[in-house]
């Protein structure tokens, strides 16, 4: 059986990648890469790797219950990791995000450059 810590690290790595992919898809959908190429060029190369490393780091700092047979205690670290990863998506979109005020060349996004499919419960 795979240890709980190893599963958390795997979920953290995949979650970090998905976090980057969601922000990247929003930028691609709105055509934001063409708006501010100099800003996004250097970040685009490193961002997936940094996202994966941060996801793994978040997984490593979560305390794993050692002597519990309860399914709830075994599930708790994953729930906490998911909450932290959702926070990472929000930070990625709010910090790097899509440059507001530019004109989206795709014509699919408003001036805010936030796609219509972006989750409404996650502010940008």
Q: What is the pLDDT of residue 13?
A: 93
Question: 25-59 as b/e, with b when 16 or more CB fall inside 10 Å?
Answer: ebbebbbbbebeeeebeeeeeebeeebbebbbebb
pLDDT digits (tens, 9 = 90+) for 66-124: 666 777 777 888 888 888 888 888 777 776 666 655 556 677 877 777 788 888 877 77
Between 50 and 123, the more confident residue is 50
CA–CA gap between residue 95 and residue 14 (Å, rounded): 21
Q: What's the whole-model pTM score?
A: 0.75
Q: What is the pLDDT of residue 83?
A: 87
Radius of gyration of the chain (CA): 17
CA–CA gap between residue 29 and residue 26 (Å, rounded): 5
Q: Which backbone phi and psi does 101 adopt, to 5 degrees?
A: 95, -20
């Amino acid at each position: 059986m795979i240890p709980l810590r190893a599963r958390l690290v795997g979920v953290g790595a995949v979650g970090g990648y998905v976090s980057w992919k969601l922000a990247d898809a929003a930028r691609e959908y709105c055509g934001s890469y063409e708006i501010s190429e100099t800003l996004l060029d250097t970040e685009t190369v490193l961002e997936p790797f940094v996202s994966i490393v941060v996801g793994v780091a978040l997984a490593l700092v979560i305390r794993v219950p050692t002597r519990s047979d309860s399914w709830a205690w075994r599930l708790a670290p994953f729930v906490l990791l998911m909450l932290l990863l959702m926070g990472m998506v929000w930070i990625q979109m709010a910090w790097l995000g899509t440059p507001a005020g530019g004109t989206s060349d795709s014509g699919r996004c408003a001036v805010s450059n936030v796609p219509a499919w972006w989750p409404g419960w996650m502010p940008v």
